[in-house]
Amino acid sequence: MNKTYQQETIAQDSQLLLKKIENDAATTVWDRYQTQLPHCGFCEMGLSCRNCVMGPCRIDPFGDGPRQGVCGADAEIIVARNLGRMIAAGAASHSDHGRDLVEVLAQVAEGNGSGYQIRDTAKLKRLAAEFGVTIDGKADLLIAAELADALQEEYGTRRKALTLLGRAPEKRRKLWTSLNITPRGIDRETSEMMHRTHMGVDNDWQSLLLHGMRNALSDGWGGSLIASEVSDILFGTPTPRPTQANVGVLKKDQVNIIVHGHNPVVSEMVLAACQSPEMIALAESKGAQGINLAGVCCTGNELLMRHGVAMAGNHLSTELVLATGAVEMMIVDYQCIMPAISQVAACYHTRMVSTSDKAKFPGMTHREFHPLNAKEMAVALVKEAVENFSNRKTVYIPVEPVAAVGGFSVEAVVGALGGTPGPLLDAIKAGKIRGAAGIVGCNNPQIKQDHGHVTLTRRLIENDILVVDTGCAAVANAKAGFKVAEAIHLAGPGLQEICGALGIPPVLHFGSCVDNVRILVLASALANALGVDISDLPIAGAAPEWYSEKAAAIGVYFVASGVYTVLGPMPPVTGSMAVVNLLTQGLEDIVGATFAVEPDPEQAAVLIRRRIENKRKALGLDARSV
Ligand code: SF4
Ligand code: MSK
């Protein structure tokens, strides 16, 4: 068979490893995807409902079939309820991740966080001040304790607004108030969404979608923002540092360990264990040249941002990296870990380990991590991985890694600009940088892996639009070579000039999925500096290959915050044209931004460029025709 897998992925490492997997008779996400085709049309359109056991029900959008479920819910209600539950699941996932970090902060404050510590005391104090914790004369651990307490309260607060909304422009906050979508307690908004979508509660599709925005905002300005901030406090606020990407980061002569998931609580400890002289000596005694830790997905992004740990791949590469036969152990925490992944691992010698009581998987050994045992558990796992080195058989690492730079927190970007966002605004006003786009989100086997991210990014930077990216989009762009200062030759003349002067790449790695809030915070800082709302800025968002409920929540909090957002895959809403029209048109008059859906990244680039030029014109800046 001479299949080249160019239909599945643009990434050369993935193409070669898919071939290897085919020869090894293992199956992947692409094989399983084929077995599901054709997808159920009712589900694709959002027209099936199983919210109660009078059903399941489905609406026939075309023929003579039912127009209402057993309870009487019509297409609008069912589509809106399904979307609402999708947002709730995404918001819950990010926010629960944030809560886990707050619990670690609380343990550290109590002196129980073995191996964890406070790494960014300045951020600790800044965040504490925002939450009304007095800091004068107090020890850091006391501040941490009071902050952790306040953050835990934020999840269930009875107050009418989340604390960190204070970072949003005043105009945006007033708009949220007027629409009655100011997010309150983080848990409350998700809980209320589940309540509203129960049979016989909210049966007004517009009201459901408004609450969807409130729920998503409780993620973007609540749970995710807490996750990102507390990660910085515990593990350090990222600064630019070199790294590498693609499967070539695995090392033939070293013990390779991969971390997968989202929460840095486990992976940070594994990194420390990999660097310990005892473990390195043990590896050498087994004939290895050292221990190589690499990441996939967002736990990888967290380590990349703070330590320059190399990135082996994004979502659709998570099975493929195992086919190298070079991975002694994969350690997972939660989110985006396909339950079939251990079936691929079983074809090789890789040990699979789960670490969270919230996330157990078939075929994995479960080793519970918590702050009290984290250090010892990490050492035990690394030791086990080292001992597995001798079980290796054939190793196939088919490519060389690509250089990249990660670590662009808002603080790092503002620092690179000389301490204020002023120079960035000046470059935008002068038209050298036309605007900025956040490219975020996953891979999805419906779309050729990385094609959406890389094509859209290439077109935007060559048209002088600065790109900031997160999640699996950021990994795609790293693999494509966009994240080194030398990549400025791919940018238009204006962006080239500015990035060249600052010594930064034209595509800035902003972090993991929860770090999308860094984009919100930067957008707010720019809007505040100009005295306008976020929706007035020449900016846009895109999720060209999204798949997850978390991405749905991110997209909705982007739009509800005023950021026009282009999706690649269509969300399951086409069963109601009323819902489609609201999401893609009507929201412009309500929150100043909409969704667009455009699977072709060339066309998506045109949409974003047009949006940015229109926003420039409205601000009285020079505008190009697109
Ligand atoms: Fe059917 Fe209504 Fe029950 Fe949904 S809530 S399954 S539409 S009866
Ligand atoms: S890991 S949510 S596939 S970006 Fe954050 Fe990647 Fe999407 Fe998971």
| Residue having the nearest C-alpha atom to atom 2 of ligand 1 | 71
What pLDDT was estimated at residue 349?
A: 97
Each residue's pLDDT tens digit, 214-246: 999 999 999 999 999 999 999 999 999 999 999
Which DSSP letter does residue 219 get? I
Pocket test of ligand 1: the residue of 49, 50, 194, 198 to mutate, having most ligand atoms within 8 Å of its CB, is: 49
Each residue's pLDDT tens digit, 423-475: 999 999 999 999 999 999 999 999 999 999 999 999 999 999 999 999 999 99
Which DSSP letter does residue 449 get? B
Ligand 1 pocket, residue 77 CB under 6 Å: no
Question: Into which CATH architecture does domain 247-391 fall?
Answer: 3-Layer(aba) Sandwich (3.40)
What pLDDT was estimated at residue 115?
A: 87
Each residue's pLDDT tens digit, 462-499: 999 999 999 999 999 999 999 999 999 999 999 999 99
Sign for the pseudo-dihedral over CA of 478, 481, 487, 489: negative
Burial 318-353 (b: 16+ CB within 10 A, else e): bbbbbbbbbbbbbbbbbbbbbebbbbbbeebbbbbb
What percent of the chain lies above the pLDDT cut of 70? 100
The dotted CATH code for 75-235 is 1.20.1270.30
What average pLDDT does the structure give for the chain? 97
**In the predicted structure, residue 1 carries a pLDDT above the cut 60:** no
Pocket test of ligand 2: the residue of 336, 509, 512 to mutate, having most ligand atoms within 8 Å of its CB, is: 336
| Residue having the nearest C-alpha atom to atom 7 of ligand 2 | 442
Question: Into which CATH architecture does domain 407-618 fall?
Answer: 3-Layer(aba) Sandwich (3.40)
Each residue's pLDDT tens digit, 258-281: 999 999 999 999 999 999 999 999
Token pair, residue 282, equals: 């043990």
pTM summary value: 0.97
| Residue having the nearest C-alpha atom to atom 3 of ligand 2 | 442
Each residue's pLDDT tens digit, 294-343: 999 999 999 999 999 999 999 999 999 999 999 999 999 999 999 999 99
Nearby residues of 186 by Cβ (< 8 Å), 6 or more positions away: 91, 95, 154, 155, 156, 162, 218, 219, 222, 223, 226
CA of 452 to the centre of ligand 2 (A): 15
As annotated, the residues of the chain forming the CATH 1.20.1270.30 domain(s) are 75-235
As annotated, the residues of the chain forming the CATH 3.40.50.2030 domain(s) are 247-391, 407-618
What pLDDT was estimated at residue 314?
A: 98
- The dihedral over CA atoms of 149, 153, 155, 156, expressed in degrees to the nearest 10, equals 160
Q: In what order do the strands lie in the sheet with 465-470?
A: 507-511, 465-470, 435-439, 539-543, 565-567, 595-597
**In the predicted structure, residue 53 carries a pLDDT above the cut 60:** yes
What pLDDT was estimated at residue 208?
A: 98
Q: How far is CA 197 from CA 67, 83, 92, 286, 616, in A?
A: 19, 10, 15, 57, 40
